[in-house]
Structure 1
Amino acid sequence: MQGIADYEFVRPLGESNYGTNYLAKAPARLGIAAAEVVVKVIAGPTSDDAFRRATRELKHFSVADSDRLVAVYDAGRHGGAFYYAMEYLPLGSLESPNVELDTSRRVAAVRDAALAAHALHERGIAHRDIKPANILVADDGGRLSDLGLSQLLSPGMVTTGLGQIGLEFTDPAIMLGAQASRASDVWSLGASLHFAITGKGVYGELRGTEPLLLVRSILASQPTLSEDLSAAARSLIAACLDADVAARPRTAAEVADRASGLLSDLGSTV
């Protein structure tokens, strides 16, 4: 396969809402032990100003005080395209795991994503794109990946122009024009936790893939929680999804703490 800059692609790992992920050989200049990394190549050309904004936010991401964030190694432009390289976790994501996961491991992955989100929030960064596809599985829990840079790279772009961005895991307020925030990431953590425990989204089976129709369908609906949830899980998820932002957990760290309680109930040691 071809590559970008000095990254030699091994194989594509799939597309996201604004780019394509590739497994690539890690160039020696990175100075890391891992032989392979994930390189995300952003679709379309990137302006100088957007490049500066994106690299500044990636720098904050990379130095946030959390080992639950996927490590970011490098960022740059090549032939007008923006790319960045990050840690490769072969076990896959909550959406598409490469191993069998029991409920405890799924909840542990969301707990760790909440810890990672809190670290970002403490640096003034909203992740913007927390969803099962961006919650990666690790032997010791999980990692939060793929900072949602689309609003920085295309600041005039509306939600419906972003393609497949995991709309059912996006706070509906964002679709109505609200700014991404701690509270909107908490909403996404709640929806992701529901998926982790039940395997279902909070809107049931959404039909179609056209973003505008999905937005209309979501905004005309109310989140519905599965009857299979424990009382504690239901209470936490319902709080995260509350339309009243003030009624939600105040921080993602609180979400993580309450998720740890769920793990205790499950008898987990993760």
Structure 2
Amino acid sequence: MHGIADYEFVRALGVSNYGTNYLARAPARLGIGDAQVVVKVISGPTSDDAFRRATRELKHFSLAESDKLVAVYDAGRQGGDFFYAMEFLPLGSLEQPTGSLDRAHAIRAVADVALAAHALHERGIAHRDIKPANILIAEDGGRLADLGLSQLLSPGMVVTGMGQIGLEYTDPAIMLGAQASRASDIWSLGASLHFAATGVGVYGDLPTREPLLLVRSILASSPTIRPEVGPGLGALIAACVHADLAMRPPTAAEVATRVAALGAGD
């Protein structure tokens, strides 16, 4: 299999958010203990300014003080492709775990990711793409991966070009033109908590994956909390996805604290 820069790809891991993830052998220059890393390749023309913005944000991501963020090791450009290398977690994601994943572990993974999101927010970064596919499973909980860098690499991108971004986990205000923020990430955390507890998002089984029709379906609907979520977790999710920002938890750290207070996720 081919590679990029001095990364030798072992196999493709899947496509997400304007890029393809590959399992790759870690070059010795990284000086890490892991033999393998994940390399994300975002194809297409990347301007010098966009490259600087993306690498600057990745630097802030890597420096954020949280052990719940996936480690980012490297970033670069080759030809028209932007790539970055990050930690490989073999247990898969909340969306596609590689083994069995019980409800308590799934909810704990989202709580961990809320702490990671808070660390980013404290550095002035909105993640922009919190969703089950970007919540990676660790033995002790979860890790947050994969910043929504496509919005930096493709400034002016509109909703119809959002491609693989998890629209059902995106604050509807973003689809209507609002800027990504702490509050919009908290909306995404709420929708991801619902998925962790039930296996579906707050819109249930949406009828299509075609972006325009999907956006119309979402904007014509209201989030619905399934009863099997339980009253405590249901109240938290409802607060996270509330249309009134003042009704949402003020920080992602509070989301994590409230999940922990619920124990097994009642």
Contact 1:109 1:142 survives alignment (8 Å): yes
What does the per-residue CA deviation read over 1:128-162, in whole Å, with 9 as the maximum and x for residues that have no partner?
Answer: 00000000000011000001111110111112202
Question: Aligned-pair distance for 1:265?
Answer: 5.9
Q: Which residue of the partner structure matches residue 97 of structure 2?
A: 97
Q: Which residue of the partner structure matches residue 14 of structure 2?
A: 14
Q: Which residue of the partner structure matches residue 107 of structure 2?
A: 107
Cα distance between partner residues in 2 of 1:263 and 1:153: 40
Q: What letter matches 2:65 in structure 1?
A: D
Contact 1:193 1:237 survives alignment (8 Å): yes
- Going from structure 1 to structure 2, the CA distance change for 1:239 and 1:3 (only over 3 Å counts) comes to same
Contact 1:108 1:263 survives alignment (8 Å): no
Q: How many residues align?
A: 266
Question: Aligned-pair distance for 1:80?
Answer: 2.2
The answer to whether 1:142 aligns with 2:146 is: no
Question: Aligned-pair distance for 1:232?
Answer: 0.5
Question: Aligned-pair distance for 1:99?
Answer: 1.3
Extract structure 1 runs of 4+ deviating beyond 2 A.
262-266
Cα distance between partner residues in 1 of 2:97 and 2:264: 23
Q: Which residue of the partner structure matches residue 88 of structure 1?
A: 88
Cα distance between partner residues in 2 of 1:233 and 1:121: 23
Q: Which residue of the partner structure matches residue 76 of structure 2?
A: 76
SS of the aligned residue for 1:259 comes to helix
SS of the aligned residue for 2:44 comes to strand
Q: Which residue of the partner structure matches residue 120 of structure 1?
A: 120
Q: What letter matches 1:102 in structure 2?
A: D
Contact 1:164 1:209 survives alignment (8 Å): no
Question: Aligned-pair distance for 1:201?
Answer: 1.3
Q: Which residue of the partner structure matches residue 2 of structure 1?
A: 2
Q: Superposed, which structure 2 residues align to 1:24-43 within 5 Å?
A: 24-43=24-43
SS of the aligned residue for 1:44 comes to coil
Q: Superposed, which structure 2 residues align to 1:144-223 within 5 Å?
A: 144-223=144-223
Q: Which consecutive residues of structure 1, in runs of 5 or more, have no partner in the other structure?
A: none
Question: Aligned-pair distance for 1:45?
Answer: 1.7
Cα distance between partner residues in 1 of 2:191 and 2:264: 21
Q: What letter matches 1:61 in structure 2?
A: F
Q: Which consecutive residues of structure 2, in runs of 5 or more, have no partner in the other structure?
A: none
What does the per-residue CA deviation read over 1:90-125, in whole Å, with 9 as the maximum and x for residues that have no partner?
Answer: 000000001111111001100000000000000000
Q: What letter matches 2:252 in structure 1?
A: A
Question: Aligned-pair distance for 1:202?
Answer: 0.8
Question: Aligned-pair distance for 1:172?
Answer: 0.2
Contact 1:170 1:187 survives alignment (8 Å): yes
Question: TM-score, with normalisation over the residues of structure 1?
Answer: 0.97
Q: What letter matches 1:224 in structure 2?
A: T
Contact 1:26 1:37 survives alignment (8 Å): yes
Q: What letter matches 1:53 in structure 2?
A: R
Cα distance between partner residues in 1 of 2:177 and 2:85: 30
Question: Aligned-pair distance for 1:204?
Answer: 1.2
Contact 2:64 2:123 survives alignment (8 Å): yes
Q: What letter matches 1:94 in structure 2?
A: L
Question: Aligned-pair distance for 1:264?
Answer: 5.0
Identity %: 76
